Structure 1
Amino acid sequence: MTRVFGEAPSAAEMEALARAALARLPAQFRAHLDDVVIAVEDFAEDALLDEMGIESPFDLTGVYEGLPVGMRSIDHSGTLPDRIRLFRLPILLEWCERGDETLEHLVAHVLIHEIGHHFGLSDDDMHALEEMAG
């Protein structure tokens, strides 16, 4: 993605990066993600930050909201779709602070971490999934 210095990617551009990372995941994972909504917002709302015990909105880059795949049953029909929210400004700040990776890589990292929560994966499993999508 070519950009003019100082111009931050929009939410739509960051969502496109996330969807591209999603498309690179192995088919066995993608098959279970069709109904997961991906949204990019500037920041998490105060209520979510309070619920998670996070003081600064810059400390939360993403969140998975839903029921992990292994915990689903027929009793959960009629619920809202699972959702992964990526928070644009905290991601951009982390990208600037790191300075050693592409924005595409960081967005993929955050997305895959949240997908890991959807599947109930351990941190090691999430790292392996990230390698597969790399």
Structure 2
Amino acid sequence: MTDFPPIADSPLNRLLGVEIVSCDPETGHVKCTFNISEDLNNLQGIIHGGIVATMLDQLCGVALAYKREKFKTPEQVTLDLNVRFMRPVAAGPLWGIGQVERMGRTIGFVESMLYDDQDRLLAKATTSFKILS
């Protein structure tokens, strides 16, 4: 793994408590941690599925942005996001990986996986991004 710039400071990244643990821009692999508050729970007392999908989308977006060396303004948008929920997600520390599978000139294909602090797979996603510039 190589040195990498910190993740962009955005309200969403602050809300999710995102921190990059490791990153390899050459291969498009990133590992991030999240610190999720109970404020994001649904009525069943678990993290709302939309928040889980957002974390997976963030992992994918960060992996693609770092592979493209577009750290501050990625200039890419999600075209689709397919999420598979494996377990309920509780508030607290979580971690995940994002991996660029293929990157063309205008489209990037990325996958991500989210884990709890006991290394259990919670959810995974595949996504494609439109590369704007």
TM-score normalised over the length of structure 2: 0.31
Query: Which protein is richer in strand relative to its size?
Result: 2
User: Higher RCO, 1 or 2 (CA under 8 Å, sep at least 6)?
Assistant: 1
Query: Which protein is richer in helix relative to its size?
Result: 1
